[in-house]
């Protein structure tokens, strides 16, 4: 079998100048996997050992491949970038099999089936070189395949004559070559007079001229698309995305405006689930059955169990959500949040590194960080749990059935005991025993008629100031009324505060002011 007799060489040394980015094109992420890892995964699945030729950003690319835990990879660094022929020559000491499969690292749509076909034909036809070609509408950027007088050759684009540039049979850059031939001929490659590079493709003309058997297999362009520009990257990503969407559609997932949705390669979605417009499912995200993920939500590396709903505009990261849970809209969960079953998390709520028990509710304008909430806890609107990140563990603990009133400030480390209540507006600095009520707020005082006096003073002041116009930012100028109200607000608070400042006591305060 050819497979067990083949080593692959993956060319990943180039500078990818047409990307115009510092980062090598090979490191760009396409639906959850970097470009270079796609063909490498195909080789790994086929059990083919491989040598990756590194050059530009060698260390970054090596790390990236290693983080994908691919087996049977060795690396060669091509110090100078003298062309594909030179790159392959650098790997000579790793040629431990009878056939050498050479491919570029920038062909993310390559499939296992295609390589299997290549190997099958190569063996069956006993070819010296078998390589892939494709007919394309726009051949720009590719080497052109030329067959003349029974001889086959490939001309790199930069060496093409204007006429040759019209040829639309392109070299896909994937070759299977007998090691013997490679060993004998690799050193015979000559530098291009145009670019000064050694071209691997010259081996094809060489083999053809020497009457070795050279086979070209024409394949569908999509599967061998190279990626040399960011626009080509976009095309490839479009194809990948639509592949995944169609796969999950066939498995019972409904997509609203499917063409707007982003799904990574390792994502899983259960049957009966709904995925809204613009949703991003990233990394290892797994959505259960009969779930609904609302429009414009972004989930990464998170789990959502069956029958749960993530409403629109939610951002969820590194979190686990139980079943029959409702999250959002406008919710943000991040950094190790675990949520039980039948929980409701509402709008403008941020939760970080927190565990929430079953049946809990926190529906409005809340921040919970580094907290542990028991079952059936209710957290009132506007509550802030002050979280302590650092050397000591300073968790906020809210035990089962506790009820946190609205607009509370919970200063950790603090424990609100089971069944305890906290009054609305409280600042909770000390533990609240079970079944107790905690109150941490000031008492209200009404100063009768005082608002009217302030307003009268304001109006007088406003009249005095009205000649004194000045330029305000456009946002403040929308209506005369708006300006008035802004002025009113300022004056009132100014006066109120002034009063408090000068006097010894609230009540006395106002008396001294003469009201």
Chain residues 314-353 in contact with a second copy, contact rule CB under 8 A: 315, 318, 329-330, 332, 334-336, 342, 344, 346-348, 350, 353
Q: Does 502 bind a second copy (CB under 8 A)?
A: no
Q: Does 476 bind a second copy (CB under 8 A)?
A: yes
Range 192-218 burial, b when 16+ CB lie within 10 A, else e: beeeebbbbbbbbbbbbeeebebbbbe
**Is omega for the bond preceding 110 within 30 degrees of 0, making it cis?**
no
Give the residue with the Cβ less far from a second copy, 146 or 239: 239
Find the binding residues for a second copy in span 298-317 (CB under 8 A): 298, 311-313, 315
Q: Does 430 bind a second copy (CB under 8 A)?
A: yes
Shortest CA distance to 384 belongs to which of 341, 338, 351? Answer: 351
Q: How many CA atoms lie within 13 A of 454 on its CB side?
A: 19
CB of 76 to a second copy, least distance (A): 28
Residues paired with 170 in a beta bridge: 134, 144
Are 15 and 228 contacting, i.e. CB atoms less than 8 angstroms apart? no
Among 229, 268, 338, 341, binds a second copy (CB under 8 A): 229
Using CA atoms, how far apart are residues 354 and 96, in angstroms rounded to an integer?
53
Range 272-300 burial, b when 16+ CB lie within 10 A, else e: ebbbbbbbbbbbebbbbebbbbbbbbbbb
Q: Does 384 bind a second copy (CB under 8 A)?
A: yes
Shortest CA distance to 13 belongs to which of 61, 73, 57, 54? Answer: 54
Give the residue with the Cβ less far from a second copy, 77 or 271: 271
Considering the candidates 120, 313, 324, 364, report the single residue annotated as catalytic: 364
Give the residue with the Cβ less far from a second copy, 164 or 229: 229
Among 291, 345, 386, 397, binds a second copy (CB under 8 A): 386
Among 28, 56, 175, 307, binds a second copy (CB under 8 A): 28
CB of 99 to a second copy, least distance (A): 37
Shortest CA distance to 412 belongs to which of 396, 426, 427? Answer: 396
Q: Is 212 a catalytic residue?
A: no
Contact window for a second copy (CB under 8 A) among 63-71, 175-183, 192-200, 365-373? 365-373
Among 392, 463, 480, 502, binds a second copy (CB under 8 A): 392
Among 106, 255, 362, 374, binds a second copy (CB under 8 A): 255
CB of 315 to a second copy, least distance (A): 5
Give the residue with the Cβ less far from a second copy, 136 or 434: 434
Quick one: CA torsion of 193, 198, 201, 202, rounded to 10 degrees? 60
Q: Does 444 bind a second copy (CB under 8 A)?
A: yes
Find the binding residues for a second copy in span 30-89 (CB under 8 A): none
Q: Does 23 bind a second copy (CB under 8 A)?
A: yes
Q: Is the dihedral of CA 244, 250, 253, 257 positive or negative?
A: positive
Contact window for a second copy (CB under 8 A) among 70-78, 129-137, 186-194, 401-409? 401-409
Q: What is the DSSP string of 22-67?
A: SS-GGG-EETTEETTHHHHHHHHHTT--EEEEEBTBHHHHHHHHHH
Contact window for a second copy (CB under 8 A) among 63-71, 91-99, 207-215, 273-281? 273-281
CB of 333 to a second copy, least distance (A): 11
Give the residue with the Cβ less far from a second copy, 213 or 372: 372
Q: Does 127 bind a second copy (CB under 8 A)?
A: no
Q: Does 252 bind a second copy (CB under 8 A)?
A: yes
Find the binding residues for a second copy in span 410-429 (CB under 8 A): 411-413, 419-421, 423-429
Shortest CA distance to 201 belongs to which of 242, 168, 160? Answer: 160
Q: Kindly tell me the burial class for residue 467, based on how many C-beta atoms sit within 10 Å of its own C-beta (0-12, 13-18, 19 or more).
A: exposed
Shortest CA distance to 346 belongs to which of 364, 334, 360, 359? Answer: 364
Shortest CA distance to 175 belongs to which of 142, 206, 131? Answer: 131
Among 60, 121, 159, 256, binds a second copy (CB under 8 A): 256
The angle, 0 to 180 degrees and rounded to 10, between the axes of the packed helices 58-67 and 37-45 is: 40
Q: Does 225 bind a second copy (CB under 8 A)?
A: no
Contact window for a second copy (CB under 8 A) among 13-21, 71-79, 118-126, 164-172? 13-21
Using CA atoms, how far apart are residues 310 and 325, in angstroms rounded to an integer?
8
Q: Does 283 bind a second copy (CB under 8 A)?
A: no
CB of 121 to a second copy, least distance (A): 27
Contact window for a second copy (CB under 8 A) among 54-62, 105-113, 154-162, 227-235? 227-235
Find the binding residues for a second copy in span 179-198 (CB under 8 A): none
Per-residue CA distances from 219 to 139, 141, 231, 273 (Å): 14, 18, 22, 36
Q: Residues with Cβ < 8 Å from 502, sequence gap 6 or more?
A: 509, 512
Among 239, 433, 457, 459, binds a second copy (CB under 8 A): 433
Q: Does 136 bind a second copy (CB under 8 A)?
A: no
Using CA atoms, how far apart are residues 189 and 63, in angstroms rounded to an integer?
32
Residues annotated catalytic, as ranges: 364
């Amino acid at each position: 079998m050819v497979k067990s007799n083949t080593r692959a060489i993956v060319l990943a040394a180039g500078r990818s100048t047409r990307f115009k980015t510092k980062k090598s094109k090979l490191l760009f992420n396409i639906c959850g996997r970097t470009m270079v890892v796609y063909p490498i995964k195909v080789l790994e699945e086929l059990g083919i050992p491989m040598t990756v030729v590194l050059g530009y950003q060698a260390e970054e690319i090596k790390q990236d491949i290693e983080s994908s835990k691919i087996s049977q990879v060795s690396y060669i660094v091509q110090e100078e970038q003298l062309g594909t022929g030179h790159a392959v020559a650098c790997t000579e000491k790793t040629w431990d099999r009878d056939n050498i499969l050479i491919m570029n690292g920038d062909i993310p749509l390559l499939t296992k089936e295609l390589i299997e076909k290549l190997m099958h034909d190569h063996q069956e036809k006993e070819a010296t070189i078998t390589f892939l070609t494709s007919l394309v509408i726009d051949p720009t950027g590719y080497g052109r395949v030329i067959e003349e007088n029974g001889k086959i050759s490939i001309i790199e684009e930069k060496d093409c004559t204007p006429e040759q540039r019209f040829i639309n049979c392109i070299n896909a850059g994937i070759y299977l070559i007998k090691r013997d031939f490679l060993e004998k001929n690799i050193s015979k490659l000559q530098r291009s007079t145009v670019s000064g590079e050694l071209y691997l493709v010259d081996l094809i003309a060489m083999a053809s001229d020497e009457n070795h058997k050279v086979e070209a297999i024409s394949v569908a362009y999509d599967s061998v698309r190279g990626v040399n520009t960011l626009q080509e990257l976009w095309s490839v990503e479009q194809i990948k995305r639509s592949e995944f969407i169609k796969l999950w559609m066939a498995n019972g997932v409904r997509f609203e405006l499917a063409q707007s949705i982003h799904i990574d390669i390792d994502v899983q979605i259960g049957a009966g689930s709904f995925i809204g417009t613009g949703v991003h499912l990233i990394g290892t995200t797994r959505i259960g059955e009969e779930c609904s993920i609302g429009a414009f939500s972004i989930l990464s590396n998170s789990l959502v169990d069956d029958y749960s709903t993530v409403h629109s505009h939610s951002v969820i990261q590194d979190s686990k959500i139980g079943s029959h849970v409702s999250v959002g809209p406008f919710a943000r969960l991040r950094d190790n949040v675990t949520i039980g079953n039948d929980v409701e998390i509402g709008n403008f709520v941020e939760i970080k590194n927190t565990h929430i028990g079953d049946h809990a509710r926190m529906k409005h304008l809340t921040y919970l960080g580094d907290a542990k909430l028991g079952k059936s806890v209710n957290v009132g609107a506007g509550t802030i749990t002050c979280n302590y990140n650092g050397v000591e563990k300073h968790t906020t603990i809210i035990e089962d059935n506790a009820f946190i009133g609205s607009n509370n400030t919970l200063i950790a480390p603090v424990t609100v005991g089971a069944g305890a209540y906290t009054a609305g507006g409280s600042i909770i600095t000390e533990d609240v025993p079970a079944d107790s009520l905690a109150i941490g707020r000031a008492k209200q005082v009404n100063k009768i008629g005082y608002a009217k006096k302030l307003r009268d003073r304001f109006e007088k002041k406003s009249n005095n100031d009205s000649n004194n116009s000045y330029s305000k930012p456009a946002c403040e100028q929308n209506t005369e009324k708006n300006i008035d109200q802004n002025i009113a607000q300022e004056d009132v608070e100014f006066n109120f505060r002034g009063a408090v400042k000068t006097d010894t006591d609230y009540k006395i305060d106002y008396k001294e002011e003469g009201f």
